[in-house]
Amino acid sequence: MSSNVNIPPSESGGYNSGGEKGLRVITFTSLGHFINDGTMFLVPVVLDLLAVVRHVAPTLITASLTLFYLAMALSAILLGGYIDRKGLQSSGMALGILVMSLGLLLFIAALGNVFPAVFIIISSALSGFGASFYHPTGTSILQSHYKGERLGRYLGINGSFGSIGRAIYPYILLIFVGVFSSEIAGIGILGTVGIISAASMAIGLRGYRISRPENRGLNSKSRGILSSAIVLLTVISLIRSLAFYGIISWIPEYLSFDRGLKASLSLGAMMSLMYVGGILGQLLFGRLVEIYDKRRILATTTVLAAVLMFLYIITTGPLSYVFLGLFGFVNFSGFPIFMSMISDYVPRDSSTTTSNALVWNVGGSGGQALGPLVVGVSIVGSYHNLPSVFIVLLIVALISSVLTFILPRPAVSKRVPLFG
């Protein structure tokens, strides 16, 4: 069953995207998304390098991936309320990028064989903690600044920069590995870029604050529906993320040990192929959520992603590359879909940082923490068991698509032209 939720309109009566302030908002939040997602999706590749180059055991890789995503999930919900109360979204976003980049740089010690197990754990935890900041803070800035029916397209533009980061970061690192035989130099450069970007975001959005006015116009019944919708959306995000990111986080090992690519430019190309689809995907789905029922879009993309990953697993050669790219196109559409749904379920005169943290970090990152752990335990010490475990997780993903239809239907905004 579904019920209608009437969301009170913004006091401003729409969105405010113009002017120098609007340009700064989309520029620096997009830069943050680029660095955050590029670094976040680089961590599994760095761990794969450690497995191949330093022969790190699957148990330590599993523990590190789990710790990375767990730190991301738990830190966000603890920080979300404080950031909401203080209105520190912009400074929190920059701080997260800084901490995450420092965590990435510490992997250099492990690759240099300096107490590798210790630095792998420390780097994973620190990187995960830093990664917990961006999605609740950066998205809250966008949701506050771009109000109304056009929010989806700005989330799509912003999300596409995250997809660009995911696509090129692994390839940049593996260029250094394949061409210059120096993974340490690659990590050093990317980590330094992150630190410089954090400083530019702190300066560019200096003084930007989100006020936290009192909620008005919602009775207790409406608040209950809104709260239950956010909780259910978090559960869906958790299950979907557990399934897909359980697969994605182990894709480097799957490519290395099942398809024989090892730490090579070919592996980097495959990772980039998967991630690059999300660039166009987020732009398209960011527009579609402004027009069609978001619940159906979420369910459809989940089912398509599961089918396409299954087809990739059972095929080889050029056809498998097509399926992998299409998987990335639909799977990495979650950001504009989930975040626009949060905006529907949270009153427009309230800050969304905490709800963003709940759905994206507790749900999404919680699934990212559990997924690698489930896969790591299920492969029982052998990387060659990955394909069969992946297929089981795809069935789990399909379950989350059914749950989307239990979500209440938000108030429908005016339909807008797809390319207008």
Best-predicted range by mean pLDDT (176-190, 199-213, 325-339, 358-372): 325-339
Cα 183 to Cα 178: distance, rounded to the nearest angstrom:
9
DSSP letter (8 states) at residue 383? G
Distance CA 124, CA 72 (A): 10
Of residues 192 and 1, which shows the higher confidence score?
192
C-beta separation of 47 from 100 below 8 A: no
Task: Give per-residue pLDDT as tens, 350-385.
Answer: 556 778 778 887 888 788 778 888 998 898 878 888
Residue 72 has pLDDT above 80, yes or no: yes
> Taking the chain, what is the end-to-end CA distance rounded to the nearest angstrom?
34
Assess whether pLDDT exceeds 80 at residue 126. Answer: yes
Q: When comparing pLDDT for 210 and 164, which is higher?
A: 164
pLDDT at residue 43 is higher than 70: yes
Q: Which helix (H) or strand (E) holds 4?
A: strand 4-5
Provide DSSP, 212-275. Answer: -PPP-S--HHHHHHHHHHHHHHHHHHHHHHHHHHHHHTTHHHHHHHTS---SSHHHHHHHHHHH
What does the mean pLDDT of the chain come to?
82
Both tokens of residue 337? 């879909």
Q: Is residue 13 part of a domain?
A: no
Q: What percent of the chain has pLDDT over 70?
A: 84
176-208 per-residue burial string, b: 16 or more CB within 10 A, e: under 16: bbbeeeebeebbbebbebbbebbeebbebbeeb
Residue 299 has pLDDT above 90, yes or no: yes
Token pair in block for residue 193: 């870029």
Q: At residue 416, does pLDDT exceed 50?
A: no
Q: Average pLDDT, stretch 242-261? A: 86
Decide if 417 is inside a domain: no
What pLDDT does residue 170 have? 82
What residues form DSSP beta bridges with 4? 409
Tell me if 33 is assigned to some domain: yes
Confidence of residue 327 (pLDDT cuts 50, 70, 90): very high
CB 134 within 8 A of CB 28: no
Residue 211: predicted pLDDT? 60
Highest mean pLDDT among 5-9, 216-220, 246-250, 305-309: 305-309
The answer to whether 333 touches 282, Cβ cutoff 8 Å, is yes
In a domain, 420, yes or no: no
Q: For the segment 215-247, what is each residue's pLDDT rounded down to a tens digit?
A: 444 444 444 445 788 889 999 999 999 999 899
Check residue 226 and give its pLDDT: 53
State the pLDDT confidence band at 83, using cuts at 50, 70 and 90: confident
d(CA 347, CA 350): 5
Q: Please tell me the predicted confidence (pLDDT) of residue 352.
A: 66
In this prediction, residue 5 has a pLDDT band, given cuts at 50, 70 and 90, of very low
Q: Roughly what angle, to the nearest 10 degrees, separates helices 220-248 and 386-403?
A: 160
Q: Is residue 73 part of a domain?
A: yes
Secondary structure tally for the chain: helices H, strands E: 16, 2
Q: Is the pLDDT of residue 8 over 50?
A: no
Q: What is the mean pLDDT of residues 373-402?
A: 91
For 99-121, the pLDDT digits (tens) are: 999 999 999 998 888 888 899 99
Q: What are the CA-CA distances from residue 367 to residues 9, 17, 114, 240, 364 (Å)?
A: 33, 33, 31, 7, 5
Under DSSP, is residue 186 helix (H, G, I), strand (E, B) or coil?
Answer: helix
Contact 387, 254 (CB under 8 A): yes
pTM score, whole prediction = 0.75
Tokens of 269: 């190309």
- What's the confidence (pLDDT) of residue 224? 45
CB atoms within 10 A of CB 4: 11
Give the residue among 136, 5, 34, 147 at the shortest CA–CA distance from 79.
136
Q: Is the pLDDT of residue 15 over 50?
A: no
Instruction: Report the Cα 390 to chain-centroid distance in Å.
Output: 20
Is residue 401 situated within a structural domain? yes
pLDDT recorded at residue 349:
53
* 34: in domain: yes
pLDDT tens profile 129-177 = 999 888 888 888 887 887 666 778 888 889 889 989 988 888 888 888 8
CA distances from 73 to 257, 355, 363 (A): 29, 13, 8
Closest CA to 35 of 176, 196, 271: 196
Give the residue numbers spanning the domain of 240: 19-209+218-410
Closest CA to 347 of 163, 187, 147: 147
DSSP reduced 3-state for 420: coil
Distance CA 150, CA 176 (A): 40
Q: Does residue 228 sit within a domain?
A: yes
**Count of domains forming the chain:** 1
CATH code of the domain covering residue 289: 1.20.1250.20
Query: Looking at residues 42-64, what average pLDDT do you find?
Result: 86
State the average pLDDT over residues 171-200.
Answer: 88
Three-state SS annotation for 270-322: HHHHHHHHHHHHHHHHHHHCCCCCHHHHHHHHHHHHHHHHHHHHHCCHHHHHH
